Amino acid sequence: MLSETDILQAVRQHIAERGEAPTMGLPTSGEITWHSLLEGTAVRCIETRTEDERIHRGRIDLSDRPQYDRLERHPLAPPKDPAVATTLKLVQRGSVKEDPCPCGNGRVTCSRCQGRGDLPCAATTTCSDCRGIDACLRCDGTGHRTRKAPEETRHAADERVTCKKCGAFDAACSTCRGRGQVTCSTCQGRGVRECPDCDGEGTEPHKRCAGTGHTVTWTEGIISRQPRTEEIKWPESGLPYMARQRAREYGNWRKTFLAQTDSVPDELEDEFKALLKPRLKPRDGEIAREADLRYLPLARVVVPEHRHRVYYVYPGQSKLQVFILPSSQRTWQIAGAVFGALAVLYLLSRFLS
């Protein structure tokens, strides 16, 4: 842990190296606030155990699946890598039941045609060309001529043929020939069509057994292990971004990697351990954890002689590093000055224009 004496000495040395000592003087005391930095990730393996009733349509071999008596007590080795997701499916001992389906052979009477294999179908349909309205220009499809001859109408003779109903020449629709109806293309005029659900067989696969005539039921236990990655950053706020970024680049961080369920090493600084322990507290369902973390002590220093500055001091690779930022008061003063200058320029531009 850095001492306050070391911190003040680093500030004095920094001022001297910048050549500011003759004009600014060297501070003899200061207000020091500690901002210990902690960063890294923690990966936790969270385990959940659930049971479900399963049914398989047909036959299935479950002999290769692990069996259990009570899922919550089933022993399972810790994961080799907490960051890898795994799912294990088990079978409760004695729960497997293989039963022939009541349908017998996997087929039941078709619910649509009731076992007949076919469905009623209209032998004829309305003509798509004349729609049954202009079937014949003389008899309207009735067989009784009630209109004038087709040559006296607005319809051209070459669009019409001899009517099969009344015999009028060049009067009937060429598709239905005056009948207004055409033979159904589905049933070819038979009045029945094949049931599309059973393809005319009168039976369909039983839904419960999917046509296999057999079912297997059992109680399935599922043990799921999922990684959850947690980003650790302390303090979360209250430290200027530039100071933190500078410490990231040039600080001599103390690093530690905790695998599986390792406890916090005793040789770490007390401050490091105090920050680590609450962030490594086990979560609900946690069975393993690994953490890759680093720590850096950082001091915020304000000296009476330089109230407009804030010094940030932290360990570097070879010596203590010092980084300077303007105080909040000085920042507001600079911002006010810039705003005032912009206002003057704006007024001058308006006056000159």
Average pLDDT of the segment spanning 164-175: 88
**Whole-prediction pTM:** 0.65
Q: How many CB atoms lie within 10 A of CB 209?
A: 24
**Is 321 in contact with 7 (CB distance < 8 Å)?**
no
**How much is the pLDDT for 189?**
86
pLDDT at 335 over 70: no
pLDDT digits (tens, 9 = 90+) for 68-117: 999 999 999 999 999 999 999 999 999 999 999 888 889 999 988 999 99
**How much is the pLDDT for 157?**
45
Rounded to 10 degrees, what is the CA torsion of 241, 243, 245, 248? -140
Secondary-structure breakdown of the chain: helix, strand, coil percentages, each rounded to the nearest 5: 20, 35, 45
Q: pLDDT band for position 274 (50/70/90)? A: confident
Closest CA to 297 of 75, 54, 4: 4
Q: What are the sequence ranges of the domains in the chain?
A: 1-34+303-353
